[in-house]
Chains A and B, each alone.
Chain A
Amino acid sequence: DGGITQSPKYLFRKEGQNVTLSCEQNLNHDAMYWYRQDPGQGLRLIYYSQIVNDFQKGDIAEGYSVSREKKESFPLTVTSAQKNPTAFYLCASSIGGPNSPLHFGNGTRLTVT
């Protein structure tokens, strides 16, 4: 099913390298989000953007960066400054702000060795 596409599904990187995760949506949603999912930790917000060319830090933004140059795209860069980057990353969008349902992508599992 369409809506939000994350690529790739699996990503492997060496420690010290930056890596960019892709997130594209065709739902015409204004708001987009990046979450990190670790076992037993729930979903923790990394960054979010409510409008093009604007974004805010979430609860665990250190070591990550984003851009929102187009409404449909919200890429996440995991930098070498992120101390524990191996995780499952989920992108989401919503039609309004956070008080409307989130539509999630299928996620990217990043492994850094």
Chain B
Amino acid sequence: GENVEQHPSTLSVQEGDSAVIKCTYSDSASNYFPWYKQELGKRPQLIIDIRSNVGEKKDQRIAVTLNKTAKHFSLHITETQPEDSAVYFCAALTERDDKIIFGKGTRLHILP
């Protein structure tokens, strides 16, 4: 079946540094790629999404890049802050089944 791989599973960065989370997908027809943030004990919330007709999207300290040829997309967080500590999930919409497939998540720790 269709698959989304996410790396790393855990990431620790010093406060103020940048964090990058990478995902690859298997369905070359996928055209929608959202990212969700889940703080401890809370619901996942959409933080940014990108569609296949653009290569990059930015929202303040968060950016997502998409490489359709290589079938991978990445989340970039700059100037990390303590409140960025959370689990981040990437996802891709599979064209074949019209379903969102999630990666397994990355636990991001921001170190003081």
In the complex, are the beta carbons of A102 and B46 less than 8 A apart?
A: yes
Total A-B residue pairs with C-beta atoms closer than 8 Å?
48
The binding surface of chain B is classed by DSSP as strand
Number of A residues with CB within 8 Å of any CB on chain B? 20
- Nearest A residue to B91 by beta-carbon distance? A43
**Residue-wise interface mask of A (96-111) relative to B, using a CB-CB cutoff of 8 A (1 in contact, 0 not):** 0111011011110000
In the complex, are the beta carbons of A40 and B100 less than 8 A apart?
A: no
Known contacts A43-B89, A98-B98, A99-B93; is-contact A107 B103 (Cβ 8 Å):
no
Q: Which of B59-112 contact A (CB under 8 A)?
A: 89, 93, 98-105
Give the CA-CA distance A102 to B34 in the complex, in Å.
9
**How many interface residues does chain B have, given as a range?**
20 to 34
Please tell me if B45 contacts chain A, counting CB pairs below 8 Å. yes
Most chain A CB within a 10 A radius of its CB, from B36, B43, B99, B101: B43
